[in-house]
Amino acid sequence: MSLGVGDLTGVRVLLGVTGGIAAYKAALVARLLVHAGATVDPVLTAGAERFIGPATFEGLTGRRVRTSVWEDIPGQTHVALGRAADVVLIYPATAHTIAKLAGGLADDLLTTTLLAATCPVVVCPAMHTEMWQHPATAANVATLVERGVRIVGPDDGTLMGGDVGAGRVSEPEDALAAVHAALAGRPDRAGGDLAGRTVVVTAGGTREPLDPVRYLGNRSTGKMGVAVAKVATARGATVHLVAANVALPTPDGVTRHDVTTALELRDAVLGLVDDADVIVKAAAVADFRPATVSGTKIKKADGIPTIELTRNPDVLAELGARRDGSAGGTPVGQPGSPLLVGFAAETDDPERHGRDKLARKGADLLVVNDVSRTDAGFATDTNSVIILGADGSRTEVPLATKEQVAGHILDEVVARLGDAGPTRAAR
């Protein structure tokens, strides 16, 4: 993947916000990062929370805002966040936080996370001129620079209380440029958390022909599946996109396999399964097709036709069944038995129906979306989902862009792939 200017797709930015009046500008930074395609994990210090609320960052990033080291102890939030980050940006950084970083102190979530992070760190200081020029601050900044931390700003300008001088936080655009610069040394994102993995994604909606001009179809555009393909590629995966009637462009680096009908989609997926580590089935696949297809256009003059339907194979359930060693299929974890992620398009009681589907189809994860909403499901740029795990997990993703939702789905995938042996391609 190329990390050209403006393209941060698949990049995970840990945005640390500390307690200064400039904290409000961190909201603009979050917005710029999200616009550039980044997945942003905001971490607010207690001081930051007095200047700006978590809800602002949650709304802008579509991600959970973390504020305390005491939440989710088993999940070891600080270690998980530190390891997952491709870059840390602290905006604004107070003199106190800079001093803690220089001294290696870890008394809150942000500083603890910083000690667990091995990625590039960008710090945007903001404080009064006297504090910035104090020898202690100067020495702390020098220590950080020596360790490879990028210090951006501060600028000269108006400070809190009307004072003018050095200490004003750098502009959000400068912080964004610094994030790009920090990542420039890793142009191929070879360290992405899906590097070496092969992911097959289905997208779009199948069309089942009635005659040479008509078909039974559905409203899927492929946006959700294409978003998964794009983000998986950006995170280092080799991605095959099985596209059912998708009019969208293919994301860079993705191999596309165009199909029309459910049977063609099945053939394409089964042809790829042996090399796949993960299969994400975002396509809306017709459960039924016309039992016979007329070779010529059905004529209105011949009266209202009766269309007999026949069942299509359920590809997800078929893949799930291969898991069941007792039924003569391939046991979980063996070649030909990738991690399975299904979707459920529901209109009533989505979670209950989703749970039923998860069990029935033998998937590892099921992404439930309510397609009766106008801002989620079919054809929208946003989605709101619940990700159910066969292990009993439940992750709610509030309304966010489809790329952000894809990021959450792939987080769940990565957590389950863990150290699960060599990739299919490597075997």
Select the residue interacting with ligand PMT from 43, 159, 316, 386 (CB under 6 A): 316
Give 41 or 277: the residue with its C-beta nearer to ligand PMT: 277
x/- track of binding to ligand PMT for residues 248-267 (CB under 6 A):
--------------x-----
Question: Does position 63 bind ligand PMT by CB under 6 A?
Answer: no
Which of the ranges 64-72, 125-133, 170-178, 314-322 carries the binding residues for ligand PMT, by CB under 6 A?
314-322
Among 218, 245, 312, 369, the one annotated catalytic: 218
Select the residue interacting with ligand PMT from 176, 344, 387, 397 (CB under 6 A): 344
Select the residue interacting with ligand PMT from 17, 179, 234, 283 (CB under 6 A): 283
For 83, other C-beta atoms within 10 Å of its C-beta total 15
Tokens of 325: 């060693």
Q: How far is the CB of 358 from ligand PMT (least distance, A)?
A: 10
Q: How far is the CB of 371 from ligand PMT (least distance, A)?
A: 5
First-to-last alpha carbon distance for the chain, in angstroms, is: 24
Q: How far is CA 184 from the centre of its chain?
A: 21
For 126, other C-beta atoms within 10 Å of its C-beta total 27
Select the residue interacting with ligand PMT from 122, 284, 365, 387 (CB under 6 A): 284
Q: How far is the CB of 318 from ligand PMT (least distance, A)?
A: 8
218 in active site: yes
Q: Looking at residues 196 to 235 of the shown chain, list those that interact with ligand PMT (rule: CB under 6 A).
A: 220-224
Cis ω for the linkage preceding 42 (within 30 of 0):
no
Select the residue interacting with ligand PMT from 29, 282, 387, 388 (CB under 6 A): 282
Tokens of 122: 């960008």
Select the residue interacting with ligand PMT from 155, 171, 264, 314 (CB under 6 A): 314
- Listed residue (61, 71, 20) closest to 41, CA to CA: 61
Q: How far is the CB of 336 from ligand PMT (least distance, A)?
A: 17
Give 19 or 377: the residue with its C-beta nearer to ligand PMT: 377
Which of the ranges 48-56, 65-73, 307-315, 320-328 carries the binding residues for ligand PMT, by CB under 6 A?
307-315
Q: Which residues of 314-327 are buried (b: 16+ CB within 10 A; e: fewer)?
A: bbbbbbbebbeeee
Select the residue interacting with ligand PMT from 285, 406, 409, 413 (CB under 6 A): 285
Cβ atoms 414, 195 nearer than 8 A: no
Cβ atoms 310, 226 nearer than 8 A: no
- Listed residue (174, 173, 125, 176) closest to 149, CA to CA: 125
> For residue 368, what is the enclosing H or E element?
strand 365-370
Select the residue interacting with ligand PMT from 238, 369, 384, 423 (CB under 6 A): 369
Write the single-letter amino acid at 222: G
Give 272 or 345: the residue with its C-beta nearer to ligand PMT: 345
Cβ atoms 89, 16 nearer than 8 A: yes
> Does the CA dihedral 311-312-313-315 come out positive or negative?
negative
3-state secondary structure of 345: strand
x/- track of binding to ligand PMT for residues 7-26 (CB under 6 A):
--------------------
Question: Does position 378 bind ligand PMT by CB under 6 A?
Answer: yes
Q: How far is the CB of 403 from ligand PMT (least distance, A)?
A: 11
Sequence-distant (6+) residues with CB within 8 A of 351 are 368, 386, 388
Question: Does position 377 bind ligand PMT by CB under 6 A?
Answer: yes
Q: Which residues of 226-237 are buried (b: 16+ CB within 10 A; e: fewer)?
A: bbbbbbbbbbbb
Q: How far is the CB of 351 from ligand PMT (least distance, A)?
A: 13
# binding residues, ligand PMT (CB under 6 A): 26
How far apart are alpha carbons 33 and 173 in whole angstroms?
Answer: 10
How far apart are alpha carbons 216 and 308 in whole angstroms?
Answer: 12
Question: What are the residues binding ligand PMT (CB under 6 A)?
Answer: 220-224, 262, 281-285, 287, 312, 314-316, 342-345, 357, 369, 371, 377-379
**Which active-site residues does the annotation give?**
218
